Structure 1
Amino acid sequence: MSEPLRLSKRMSELGLCSRREADEWIERGWVRVDGVVVSTLGSKVLPEQKITVERQASNEQARRVTILINKPVGFVSGQAEDGYRPAVSLISSRTRWKLDRSPTQFQPNQLRNLVPAGRLDIDSVGLLVLTQDGRIAKHLIGETSDVDKEYLVRVQYHKPGRLPESDLQLLNHGLTMDGKPLKEAKVYWQNEDQLSFTLREGKKRQIRRMCEAVGLRVVGLKRVRIGKVTLGDLPTGEWRYLAADESF
Protein backbone atom coordinates (compact mmCIF):
# COMPACT_ATOMS: atom_id res chain seq x y z
CA MET A 1 0.00 0.00 0.00
CA SER A 2 1.24 3.50 -0.82
CA GLU A 3 1.72 5.77 2.17
CA PRO A 4 0.05 9.22 2.05
CA LEU A 5 2.41 12.20 1.89
CA ARG A 6 1.98 15.78 2.96
CA LEU A 7 0.71 17.66 -0.09
CA SER A 8 3.39 20.37 0.08
CA LYS A 9 6.14 17.74 0.28
CA ARG A 10 4.72 15.88 -2.70
CA MET A 11 4.55 19.10 -4.74
CA SER A 12 8.20 19.76 -3.92
CA GLU A 13 9.15 16.20 -4.90
CA LEU A 14 7.42 16.69 -8.25
CA GLY A 15 9.40 19.89 -8.85
CA LEU A 16 6.29 22.09 -8.94
CA CYS A 17 7.60 24.50 -6.31
CA SER A 18 9.25 24.65 -2.90
CA ARG A 19 7.38 23.51 0.22
CA ARG A 20 6.99 27.13 1.35
CA GLU A 21 5.51 28.10 -2.01
CA ALA A 22 3.24 25.05 -1.91
CA ASP A 23 1.81 26.08 1.45
CA GLU A 24 1.15 29.60 0.11
CA TRP A 25 -0.63 28.22 -2.96
CA ILE A 26 -2.68 25.76 -0.90
CA GLU A 27 -3.87 28.57 1.39
CA ARG A 28 -4.87 30.64 -1.66
CA GLY A 29 -6.86 27.78 -3.15
CA TRP A 30 -4.55 27.41 -6.15
CA VAL A 31 -3.92 23.67 -5.78
CA ARG A 32 -6.14 20.81 -6.99
CA VAL A 33 -5.84 17.11 -6.23
CA ASP A 34 -7.65 14.93 -8.75
CA GLY A 35 -9.47 18.07 -9.88
CA VAL A 36 -10.68 19.09 -6.40
CA VAL A 37 -9.37 22.27 -4.73
CA VAL A 38 -7.43 21.54 -1.53
CA SER A 39 -6.97 24.59 0.70
CA THR A 40 -6.16 23.04 4.08
CA LEU A 41 -2.52 23.10 5.18
CA GLY A 42 -1.22 19.70 6.19
CA SER A 43 -3.48 17.81 3.79
CA LYS A 44 -2.08 14.49 2.58
CA VAL A 45 -2.18 12.77 -0.79
CA LEU A 46 -1.27 9.41 -2.25
CA PRO A 47 1.66 9.29 -4.71
CA GLU A 48 -0.60 8.24 -7.59
CA GLN A 49 -3.01 11.18 -7.18
CA LYS A 50 -2.82 13.95 -9.78
CA ILE A 51 -1.79 17.40 -8.55
CA THR A 52 -2.39 20.51 -10.64
CA VAL A 53 -2.00 24.21 -9.94
CA GLU A 54 -4.09 27.16 -11.08
CA ARG A 55 -2.81 29.61 -13.66
CA GLN A 56 -2.36 32.29 -10.97
CA ALA A 57 0.34 30.16 -9.35
CA SER A 58 2.17 29.62 -12.64
CA ASN A 59 1.97 33.34 -13.45
CA GLU A 60 3.34 34.31 -10.04
CA GLN A 61 6.15 31.80 -10.38
CA ALA A 62 7.07 33.13 -13.82
CA ARG A 63 7.56 36.62 -12.32
CA ARG A 64 10.08 35.38 -9.77
CA VAL A 65 13.65 36.32 -10.57
CA THR A 66 17.04 34.72 -10.14
CA ILE A 67 20.03 37.01 -9.88
CA LEU A 68 23.74 36.24 -10.34
CA ILE A 69 26.16 38.49 -8.51
CA ASN A 70 29.95 38.65 -8.38
CA LYS A 71 30.30 38.91 -4.60
CA PRO A 72 33.25 40.94 -3.31
CA VAL A 73 35.19 40.27 -0.11
CA GLY A 74 33.54 41.71 3.01
CA PHE A 75 29.92 40.82 2.21
CA VAL A 76 28.00 37.91 3.73
CA SER A 77 25.82 35.71 1.54
CA GLY A 78 22.66 35.82 3.65
CA GLN A 79 21.42 37.92 6.56
CA ALA A 80 23.57 40.77 7.84
CA GLU A 81 25.84 39.64 10.68
CA ASP A 82 28.56 41.16 12.88
CA GLY A 83 28.13 44.49 11.14
CA TYR A 84 28.78 43.08 7.66
CA ARG A 85 26.37 43.85 4.83
CA PRO A 86 24.52 41.10 2.97
CA ALA A 87 25.20 40.58 -0.74
CA VAL A 88 21.59 41.50 -1.56
CA SER A 89 22.37 45.08 -0.48
CA LEU A 90 24.58 45.39 -3.58
CA ILE A 91 21.61 44.96 -5.92
CA SER A 92 20.19 48.13 -7.44
CA SER A 93 19.56 49.54 -10.89
CA ARG A 94 22.92 51.33 -10.65
CA THR A 95 24.95 48.14 -10.08
CA ARG A 96 23.30 46.04 -12.80
CA TRP A 97 25.87 44.88 -15.36
CA LYS A 98 25.62 46.97 -18.51
CA LEU A 99 26.02 43.86 -20.68
CA ASP A 100 23.13 41.97 -19.06
CA ARG A 101 21.10 40.64 -22.01
CA SER A 102 17.94 39.87 -20.03
CA PRO A 103 14.92 42.02 -20.99
CA THR A 104 13.67 41.93 -17.37
CA GLN A 105 13.26 45.40 -15.87
CA PHE A 106 14.60 45.90 -12.36
CA GLN A 107 11.91 46.49 -9.73
CA PRO A 108 12.70 47.04 -6.02
CA ASN A 109 10.04 44.46 -5.09
CA GLN A 110 12.25 41.82 -6.72
CA LEU A 111 14.43 42.08 -3.62
CA ARG A 112 11.59 40.66 -1.52
CA ASN A 113 12.13 36.99 -0.62
CA LEU A 114 15.38 36.97 -2.58
CA VAL A 115 17.53 34.36 -0.83
CA PRO A 116 21.00 32.90 -1.48
CA ALA A 117 21.02 29.43 -3.05
CA GLY A 118 24.31 28.45 -1.44
CA ARG A 119 26.94 30.35 0.50
CA LEU A 120 30.21 32.10 -0.11
CA ASP A 121 32.32 32.95 2.95
CA ILE A 122 32.82 36.61 3.79
CA ASP A 123 36.44 36.39 2.60
CA SER A 124 35.56 34.53 -0.62
CA VAL A 125 34.51 36.09 -3.92
CA GLY A 126 32.76 35.16 -7.13
CA LEU A 127 29.50 33.70 -8.35
CA LEU A 128 26.61 33.86 -5.87
CA VAL A 129 23.02 32.97 -6.80
CA LEU A 130 20.11 34.83 -5.21
CA THR A 131 16.64 33.61 -6.12
CA GLN A 132 12.93 34.00 -5.42
CA ASP A 133 12.29 30.62 -7.06
CA GLY A 134 12.13 27.73 -4.61
CA ARG A 135 12.66 25.21 -7.41
CA ILE A 136 16.07 26.68 -8.20
CA ALA A 137 17.05 26.83 -4.53
CA LYS A 138 16.15 23.17 -4.09
CA HIS A 139 18.00 22.20 -7.27
CA LEU A 140 21.19 23.93 -6.10
CA ILE A 141 21.24 23.25 -2.36
CA GLY A 142 18.63 20.56 -1.68
CA GLU A 143 19.62 17.30 -0.01
CA THR A 144 19.61 15.47 -3.35
CA SER A 145 21.40 18.20 -5.33
CA ASP A 146 24.31 16.99 -7.45
CA VAL A 147 25.07 20.30 -9.19
CA ASP A 148 28.82 20.81 -9.25
CA LYS A 149 30.53 24.07 -8.35
CA GLU A 150 33.96 25.16 -9.55
CA TYR A 151 36.40 27.33 -7.60
CA LEU A 152 39.81 28.85 -8.29
CA VAL A 153 41.86 28.66 -5.10
CA ARG A 154 45.19 30.43 -4.53
CA VAL A 155 47.24 28.62 -1.92
CA GLN A 156 50.55 28.62 -0.01
CA TYR A 157 52.25 25.41 1.11
CA HIS A 158 53.41 25.35 4.75
CA LYS A 159 56.11 22.71 4.27
CA PRO A 160 59.38 22.70 2.29
CA GLY A 161 59.11 21.85 -1.39
CA ARG A 162 55.92 21.24 -3.28
CA LEU A 163 52.67 19.51 -2.33
CA PRO A 164 53.22 15.73 -2.83
CA GLU A 165 51.16 14.04 -5.53
CA SER A 166 49.72 11.74 -2.87
CA ASP A 167 48.25 14.74 -1.01
CA LEU A 168 46.80 16.11 -4.25
CA GLN A 169 45.09 12.77 -4.75
CA LEU A 170 43.81 12.98 -1.18
CA LEU A 171 42.15 16.28 -2.03
CA ASN A 172 40.41 14.52 -4.91
CA HIS A 173 39.19 11.63 -2.78
CA GLY A 174 39.87 10.24 0.67
CA LEU A 175 39.39 13.10 3.15
CA THR A 176 36.77 13.06 5.89
CA MET A 177 35.04 16.05 7.47
CA ASP A 178 32.79 16.18 10.52
CA GLY A 179 33.17 12.44 10.82
CA LYS A 180 31.94 11.66 7.30
CA PRO A 181 33.86 10.92 4.07
CA LEU A 182 33.70 13.72 1.53
CA LYS A 183 32.29 13.11 -1.92
CA GLU A 184 34.80 12.69 -4.70
CA ALA A 185 36.10 16.04 -5.95
CA LYS A 186 38.11 17.15 -8.97
CA VAL A 187 41.22 19.04 -7.91
CA TYR A 188 44.22 19.92 -10.08
CA TRP A 189 46.89 22.60 -10.41
CA GLN A 190 46.04 25.53 -12.70
CA ASN A 191 49.46 27.09 -12.17
CA GLU A 192 52.19 26.94 -9.53
CA ASP A 193 50.14 28.54 -6.75
CA GLN A 194 46.52 28.07 -7.85
CA LEU A 195 44.29 25.00 -7.71
CA SER A 196 40.98 24.32 -9.44
CA PHE A 197 38.40 22.65 -7.17
CA THR A 198 35.13 21.17 -8.45
CA LEU A 199 32.80 19.97 -5.69
CA ARG A 200 29.35 18.40 -5.52
CA GLU A 201 28.75 19.37 -1.90
CA GLY A 202 29.19 22.48 0.20
CA LYS A 203 30.11 21.97 3.83
CA LYS A 204 31.00 25.07 5.82
CA ARG A 205 34.44 26.36 4.79
CA GLN A 206 34.99 23.02 3.08
CA ILE A 207 37.77 23.99 0.67
CA ARG A 208 39.74 25.84 3.35
CA ARG A 209 39.46 22.87 5.69
CA MET A 210 40.44 20.42 2.92
CA CYS A 211 43.52 22.48 2.17
CA GLU A 212 44.49 22.74 5.84
CA ALA A 213 44.36 18.94 6.05
CA VAL A 214 47.25 18.65 3.58
CA GLY A 215 49.29 21.64 4.76
CA LEU A 216 47.97 24.28 2.36
CA ARG A 217 46.78 27.74 3.38
CA VAL A 218 44.13 29.40 1.23
CA VAL A 219 44.99 33.02 0.39
CA GLY A 220 42.24 33.57 -2.17
CA LEU A 221 39.07 31.74 -3.20
CA LYS A 222 36.79 32.53 -6.14
CA ARG A 223 33.74 30.59 -7.35
CA VAL A 224 33.61 30.68 -11.14
CA ARG A 225 30.88 28.21 -12.07
CA ILE A 226 27.69 26.59 -10.74
CA GLY A 227 26.52 23.77 -12.99
CA LYS A 228 26.37 25.15 -16.53
CA VAL A 229 26.28 28.80 -15.41
CA THR A 230 29.63 30.61 -15.31
CA LEU A 231 30.76 33.87 -13.75
CA GLY A 232 32.25 34.95 -17.08
CA ASP A 233 33.10 38.64 -17.35
CA LEU A 234 30.61 39.82 -14.70
CA PRO A 235 32.50 42.58 -12.81
CA THR A 236 33.05 42.43 -9.06
CA GLY A 237 30.13 43.94 -7.15
CA GLU A 238 27.79 43.89 -10.17
CA TRP A 239 24.90 41.55 -11.01
CA ARG A 240 22.73 40.25 -13.81
CA TYR A 241 19.57 38.18 -14.23
CA LEU A 242 19.65 34.48 -15.03
CA ALA A 243 18.62 34.48 -18.68
CA ALA A 244 15.55 32.58 -19.89
CA ASP A 245 17.73 30.22 -21.93
CA GLU A 246 20.17 29.49 -19.08
CA SER A 247 19.96 26.48 -16.82
CA PHE A 248 22.13 25.24 -13.98
Structure 2
Amino acid sequence: MLRKFSFYFNNLALAQKLTILLLVIFVGGITFSGIALANILNYKAQNEITSNALLLLRTLNSVRYYTNNEVTPHLQASLGNEEFSPQTVPAYSSRKVFDALRKDNNSYQDFLYKEAMLKPTNPQDMADSFETEIIQNFRQNKNMQQVSGFRSFQEEKYFYVARPLAINDASCLRCHSTPEVAPKEMIKIYGDQNGIGWKLNEVLGFKLFLYQRMKFCKTLVNL
Protein backbone atom coordinates (compact mmCIF):
# COMPACT_ATOMS: atom_id res chain seq x y z
CA MET A 1 0.00 0.00 0.00
CA LEU A 2 2.89 2.35 0.83
CA ARG A 3 4.46 1.60 -2.57
CA LYS A 4 1.21 2.44 -4.35
CA PHE A 5 0.95 5.73 -2.47
CA SER A 6 4.60 6.54 -3.24
CA PHE A 7 4.07 5.78 -6.93
CA TYR A 8 0.90 7.86 -7.02
CA PHE A 9 2.56 10.75 -5.13
CA ASN A 10 5.63 10.77 -7.41
CA ASN A 11 3.43 11.07 -10.48
CA LEU A 12 1.56 14.11 -9.17
CA ALA A 13 2.26 17.61 -10.36
CA LEU A 14 4.45 19.80 -8.15
CA ALA A 15 1.50 21.97 -7.11
CA GLN A 16 -0.48 18.90 -6.05
CA LYS A 17 2.48 17.58 -4.07
CA LEU A 18 2.83 20.88 -2.25
CA THR A 19 -0.91 20.91 -1.51
CA ILE A 20 -0.75 17.43 0.03
CA LEU A 21 2.35 18.28 2.08
CA LEU A 22 0.75 21.48 3.38
CA LEU A 23 -2.41 19.54 4.23
CA VAL A 24 -0.39 16.95 6.17
CA ILE A 25 1.50 19.69 8.02
CA PHE A 26 -1.78 21.49 8.78
CA VAL A 27 -3.51 18.35 10.10
CA GLY A 28 -0.44 17.42 12.15
CA GLY A 29 -0.21 20.91 13.61
CA ILE A 30 -3.89 20.96 14.53
CA THR A 31 -3.58 17.52 16.17
CA PHE A 32 -0.48 18.49 18.14
CA SER A 33 -2.03 21.80 19.22
CA GLY A 34 -5.21 20.03 20.33
CA ILE A 35 -3.26 17.55 22.45
CA ALA A 36 -1.14 20.32 23.97
CA LEU A 37 -4.23 22.45 24.72
CA ALA A 38 -6.03 19.49 26.29
CA ASN A 39 -3.04 18.82 28.55
CA ILE A 40 -2.86 22.47 29.61
CA LEU A 41 -6.59 22.60 30.37
CA ASN A 42 -6.35 19.31 32.22
CA TYR A 43 -3.50 20.66 34.37
CA LYS A 44 -5.37 23.90 35.13
CA ALA A 45 -8.57 22.04 36.03
CA GLN A 46 -6.71 19.67 38.36
CA ASN A 47 -5.08 22.65 40.08
CA GLU A 48 -8.45 24.36 40.51
CA ILE A 49 -10.07 21.27 41.97
CA THR A 50 -7.08 20.60 44.22
CA SER A 51 -7.20 24.18 45.53
CA ASN A 52 -10.91 23.82 46.34
CA ALA A 53 -10.33 20.48 48.04
CA LEU A 54 -7.46 21.84 50.16
CA LEU A 55 -9.58 24.81 51.20
CA LEU A 56 -12.28 22.40 52.34
CA LEU A 57 -9.73 20.26 54.16
CA ARG A 58 -8.39 23.28 56.04
CA THR A 59 -11.96 24.23 56.96
CA LEU A 60 -12.74 20.75 58.22
CA ASN A 61 -9.44 20.62 60.11
CA SER A 62 -10.59 23.76 61.94
CA VAL A 63 -13.88 22.03 62.74
CA ARG A 64 -11.99 19.02 64.07
CA TYR A 65 -9.75 21.25 66.20
CA TYR A 66 -12.72 23.16 67.63
CA THR A 67 -14.61 19.95 68.40
CA ASN A 68 -11.61 18.31 70.04
CA ASN A 69 -10.61 21.32 72.15
CA GLU A 70 -13.89 23.09 72.89
CA VAL A 71 -16.83 20.73 72.46
CA THR A 72 -15.49 17.36 73.57
CA PRO A 73 -14.16 18.41 77.01
CA HIS A 74 -17.50 19.97 77.99
CA LEU A 75 -19.58 17.07 76.72
CA GLN A 76 -17.38 14.45 78.34
CA ALA A 77 -17.61 16.28 81.66
CA SER A 78 -21.38 15.90 81.60
CA LEU A 79 -21.42 12.41 80.11
CA GLY A 80 -18.99 10.73 82.47
CA ASN A 81 -16.48 8.01 81.67
CA GLU A 82 -18.92 5.30 80.67
CA GLU A 83 -21.26 7.18 78.34
CA PHE A 84 -20.59 8.22 74.77
CA SER A 85 -21.94 10.80 72.33
CA PRO A 86 -20.94 10.96 68.63
CA GLN A 87 -20.86 14.77 68.92
CA THR A 88 -17.59 14.40 70.83
CA VAL A 89 -15.89 12.83 67.79
CA PRO A 90 -14.08 15.30 65.48
CA ALA A 91 -14.68 13.08 62.44
CA TYR A 92 -18.43 13.15 63.12
CA SER A 93 -18.43 16.95 63.32
CA SER A 94 -16.41 17.42 60.14
CA ARG A 95 -18.66 15.04 58.22
CA LYS A 96 -21.80 16.83 59.41
CA VAL A 97 -20.36 20.23 58.45
CA PHE A 98 -19.35 18.97 55.02
CA ASP A 99 -22.79 17.42 54.42
CA ALA A 100 -24.43 20.74 55.32
CA LEU A 101 -22.02 22.58 53.01
CA ARG A 102 -22.85 20.29 50.08
CA LYS A 103 -26.56 20.69 50.74
CA ASP A 104 -26.47 24.50 50.81
CA ASN A 105 -23.83 25.16 48.13
CA ASN A 106 -24.15 23.80 44.60
CA SER A 107 -20.44 24.37 44.00
CA TYR A 108 -19.66 21.36 46.19
CA GLN A 109 -22.37 18.99 45.02
CA ASP A 110 -19.87 16.94 43.05
CA PHE A 111 -17.37 16.57 45.88
CA LEU A 112 -17.40 13.49 48.09
CA TYR A 113 -15.58 13.42 51.43
CA LYS A 114 -14.33 10.40 53.32
CA GLU A 115 -11.95 9.78 56.21
CA ALA A 116 -10.68 6.39 55.05
CA MET A 117 -9.22 4.35 57.93
CA LEU A 118 -7.65 0.92 58.41
CA LYS A 119 -9.38 0.41 61.78
CA PRO A 120 -12.27 2.88 61.88
CA THR A 121 -14.80 3.22 64.65
CA ASN A 122 -17.59 3.67 62.09
CA PRO A 123 -17.59 0.87 59.46
CA GLN A 124 -18.54 3.35 56.73
CA ASP A 125 -15.02 4.81 57.05
CA MET A 126 -13.35 1.47 56.31
CA ALA A 127 -10.67 1.85 53.62
CA ASP A 128 -11.11 -0.23 50.47
CA SER A 129 -8.18 -1.88 48.69
CA PHE A 130 -7.30 1.27 46.72
CA GLU A 131 -7.43 3.46 49.82
CA THR A 132 -5.46 0.92 51.88
CA GLU A 133 -2.60 1.14 49.40
CA ILE A 134 -2.55 4.94 49.75
CA ILE A 135 -2.48 4.63 53.56
CA GLN A 136 0.45 2.22 53.38
CA ASN A 137 2.30 4.67 51.12
CA PHE A 138 1.72 7.46 53.63
CA ARG A 139 3.05 5.20 56.40
CA GLN A 140 6.16 4.28 54.46
CA ASN A 141 6.85 7.83 53.28
CA LYS A 142 6.61 10.07 56.33
CA ASN A 143 7.41 13.18 54.32
CA MET A 144 4.59 12.63 51.83
CA GLN A 145 1.80 15.05 52.72
CA GLN A 146 -0.52 14.76 49.73
CA VAL A 147 -1.37 12.56 46.75
CA SER A 148 -3.83 13.07 43.89
CA GLY A 149 -4.87 11.27 40.73
CA PHE A 150 -7.75 9.32 39.22
CA ARG A 151 -9.61 6.25 40.44
CA SER A 152 -12.72 4.24 39.59
CA PHE A 153 -15.48 4.54 42.18
CA GLN A 154 -19.15 3.54 41.97
CA GLU A 155 -18.74 2.82 38.24
CA GLU A 156 -17.45 6.36 37.62
CA LYS A 157 -13.95 7.75 37.23
CA TYR A 158 -13.07 10.34 39.87
CA PHE A 159 -10.24 12.78 40.45
CA TYR A 160 -9.11 12.52 44.07
CA VAL A 161 -7.04 14.48 46.58
CA ALA A 162 -5.84 12.76 49.77
CA ARG A 163 -3.92 13.85 52.87
CA PRO A 164 -2.73 11.63 55.76
CA LEU A 165 -4.65 11.41 59.01
CA ALA A 166 -2.96 10.67 62.33
CA ILE A 167 -3.90 11.03 66.00
CA ASN A 168 -1.79 13.83 67.48
CA ASP A 169 -3.75 14.40 70.68
CA ALA A 170 -3.25 11.85 73.48
CA SER A 171 -6.75 12.53 74.79
CA CYS A 172 -8.17 10.75 71.74
CA LEU A 173 -6.65 7.49 72.96
CA ARG A 174 -9.22 7.44 75.75
CA CYS A 175 -11.65 5.98 73.25
CA HIS A 176 -9.24 4.23 70.88
CA SER A 177 -6.46 2.51 72.81
CA THR A 178 -8.06 -0.58 74.40
CA PRO A 179 -11.67 -1.74 74.94
CA GLU A 180 -11.13 -1.63 78.71
CA VAL A 181 -10.63 2.15 78.86
CA ALA A 182 -13.07 3.08 76.06
CA PRO A 183 -16.58 4.27 77.05
CA LYS A 184 -18.88 1.30 77.45
CA GLU A 185 -21.59 3.03 75.42
CA MET A 186 -19.18 3.36 72.46
CA ILE A 187 -18.25 -0.32 72.70
CA LYS A 188 -21.94 -1.16 72.83
CA ILE A 189 -22.60 0.80 69.61
CA TYR A 190 -19.51 -0.08 67.57
CA GLY A 191 -18.13 -3.22 69.18
CA ASP A 192 -14.75 -3.89 70.81
CA GLN A 193 -12.84 -4.30 67.54
CA ASN A 194 -13.71 -1.07 65.73
CA GLY A 195 -11.56 1.99 66.34
CA ILE A 196 -9.38 0.18 68.88
CA GLY A 197 -5.61 -0.19 68.98
CA TRP A 198 -4.71 3.24 67.62
CA LYS A 199 -1.31 4.71 68.45
CA LEU A 200 -0.25 8.31 68.91
CA ASN A 201 1.22 9.97 65.78
CA GLU A 202 0.67 6.83 63.71
CA VAL A 203 -0.89 7.31 60.26
CA LEU A 204 -4.26 5.62 60.63
CA GLY A 205 -5.85 6.70 57.38
CA PHE A 206 -6.34 9.79 55.27
CA LYS A 207 -8.78 12.54 54.46
CA LEU A 208 -10.03 12.09 50.91
CA PHE A 209 -11.97 14.25 48.49
CA LEU A 210 -13.32 12.74 45.28
CA TYR A 211 -14.48 14.82 42.32
CA GLN A 212 -16.57 13.19 39.60
CA ARG A 213 -14.85 12.88 36.22
CA MET A 214 -17.94 13.91 34.20
CA LYS A 215 -18.08 17.26 36.02
CA PHE A 216 -14.31 17.47 35.84
CA CYS A 217 -14.50 17.34 32.05
CA LYS A 218 -17.09 20.12 32.09
CA THR A 219 -14.65 22.17 34.13
CA LEU A 220 -12.11 21.72 31.34
CA VAL A 221 -14.57 23.09 28.81
CA ASN A 222 -15.35 26.12 30.98
CA LEU A 223 -11.73 27.14 31.51
Structure holding more helix per residue: 2
Instruction: Please give the TM-score of this superposition, normalised by the length of structure 2.
Output: 0.23
Larger radius of gyration: 2
Structure holding more strand per residue: 1
